[in-house]
Amino acid sequence: MKCCKIAKGQKVLGKLNDKETAKFIRSTAKNPSQRLTHINRMVHQQKFSQDPNLQGLEFSISDKVSHSSF
């Protein structure tokens, strides 16, 4: 799961140059185990399984993640 929040009125000014692209990739690249750890931490902190809005929509996010897909 990935989440990106765009500020109201934010504009894309154009293509990143090579240096900016490399910096962006380095800052976002994570190996699968690091990504899974980050996702698990976020799900636990946000308590999605207890969110009344998600429950009202009959939507749920499990607190348990399977490692078998890696």
Per residue in 16-50, pLDDT (tens digit) is 889 999 998 888 888 888 888 888 888 888 887 78
The 3-state DSSP class for residue 36 equals: helix
What is the chain's Cα-based Rg? 17
User: Given this model, what pLDDT does residue 18 score?
Assistant: 93
User: Given this model, what pLDDT does residue 59 score?
Assistant: 77
Instruction: With 0.75 as the threshold, say if the pTM is over it.
Output: no
User: What number of other Cβ atoms are within 10 A of residue 48's Cβ?
Assistant: 17
Phi, psi of 22 (to 5 degrees): -60, -45
User: Given this model, what pLDDT does residue 67 score?
Assistant: 60
Round the average pLDDT of the chain to a whole number and report it: 79
Structure-token pair, residue 30: 């994570």
Top pLDDT among 37 and 2 is at: 37
Per-residue pLDDT at 2 exceeds 60: yes
Taking the domains of the chain in order of start, what are their residue ranges? Answer: 32-58
Cβ atoms of residues 32 and 70 within 8 Å:
yes
